[in-house]
Amino acid sequence: MTANVIHTENVYRIYSSAAGLTPALCGVSLDVGRGEFLAIMGPSGSGKSTLMNILGCLDRPTSGTYLLEGLDVSKLTDDDLAHVRSTRLGFVFQSFNLLPRATVLRNVMLPLVYTRAGVRNRELRAWKALLEVGLPEELYDHRSNELSGGQMQRVAIARALVNDPALILADEPTGNLDSATGELVMRTFRRMQGQGKTIVLITHDASVAGWADRVMHIRDGRLLTEEQEHAYVTALEARERTGNGGEEAPQEAIA
């Protein structure tokens, strides 16, 4: 089995509209090792949501290569992609995306509906996932809309874990939480990593990104290292000081 859960090479995503062609990703190459915790930071419109959609098999690159555990997902049918999403990927969203009138246990069981597991097996696996994220057992029969924000996000993480996925994708998972509750959620992610899970988290918050092993940045559809991001910001600040105008830093700063 490949050591990398994610391998992308020269990935482009270009959208076509009446106004013309709009590049959202421009030659993104990325490797994420098994058990790694990676944070990707970027401002609005930088391409981070497009990248997350491609990594989550919700969209396809216009060109380039994406291998998920060595599997070339660009060659899969829509049905095969749906199977990959339900068995190899776990998603955690800013808005939790829980069924408000369903119990905590039933929310976590939901991804298992698409498997051959029996009801009792699904309940046991959901119970185990909830224990792993540290949610008190007395809450399992509560409706999800009766929980606090931090509790709901831990339920969402348990739902992402229940299929034992190769990769957990988290999109601004602390965005709707206060700082103390957000810290509890990030500790949960670190605990999941300690159990061997691979995590890619997208955030605009540097304090959240600081929980990861590695931080990368995305600007104008290009993925940057910390050093490249620093060069980009330094060049941009220099242009503002000298009055050279323009919002874009010189391209050599991120080459």
Query: Would the pTM count as exceeding 0.85?
Result: yes
User: Mapping DSSP to helix (H, G, I), strand (E, B) and coil, where does residue 131 land?
Assistant: helix
Contact assessment for residue 42 and residue 35, using Cβ atoms and an 8 Å cutoff: no
User: Mapping DSSP to helix (H, G, I), strand (E, B) and coil, where does residue 213 land?
Assistant: coil
Helix and strand counts by DSSP (H, E) for the chain = 8, 10
Q: What is the pLDDT of residue 253?
A: 53
Which residue reads 């600040």 in tokens? 237
User: Mapping DSSP to helix (H, G, I), strand (E, B) and coil, where does residue 6 land?
Assistant: strand
**pLDDT of 6 above 90:** yes
Sign of CA dihedral 230, 223, 31, 85: positive
Exposure of 145 in the CB half-sphere (CA atoms within 13 A): 4
pLDDT digit string (tens) for 30-73? 999 999 999 999 988 899 999 999 999 999 999 999 999 999 99
